[in-house]
Amino acid sequence: METIKIAYENLSPRIVTDVFVGLGKGLKYVKCRALWDTGSSRTSISEGIVSDLELESSETSDIISLTGESRPFIYRVCIGFPDVQKCFIDVVVDGGCPTELLKGKIDEEDIFDVIIGMDIISQGDFRLKPEDGKHIFTFDLQ
């Protein structure tokens, strides 16, 4: 079992990790920041990643988010994590992270290129717990 683990000095209002999004093992990928969102049923990527990886899609999907209803293109990508061998292969993701719609209205540190949804979170053991005066986020990959 492999584990992603981050210690926060204080209670963090968000869980953020680095991720790799790519086309598959040995192929083009980008490293970016990801927000873990248990309220999202599916993982989303930004239009910037779609452009950087030159992704193409002819499929769309209906979604409802905080910003309303939309019909984004969907893409198949691989998502991996630094220092962890396991990655999620052929993940169906929505293009156009909802946070992109908020640029200019929130702090730059709150802009993410990936939102990790329950499609990935449900495949591991997701925990946030207090330990030695810190808050520890762990995600055990099965």
Q: Which domains are assigned to the chain?
A: 2-141 (2.40.70.10)
Task: Quote the CA–CA distance of 91 and 89 in Å, as a whole number.
Answer: 6
pTM of the shown model: 0.82
Q: What is the mean pLDDT of residues 19-44?
A: 88
Considering only CA atoms, which of 93, 99, 24 is closest in space to residue 59?
Answer: 93
% of the chain beyond a pLDDT of 70? 85
d(CA 117, CA 40): 5
What mean pLDDT do residues 37-65 have? Answer: 83
Give the HSE-up count for residue 67: Cα atoms under 13 Å, Cβ half-sphere: 11
Q: What are the two backbone dihedrals, phi and then psi, of residue 38, each rounded to the nearest 5 degrees? A: -70, -10
Asked if 60 and 73 count as a contact pair (C-beta separation under 8 A), the reply is yes
Give the pLDDT mean for 105-113: 66
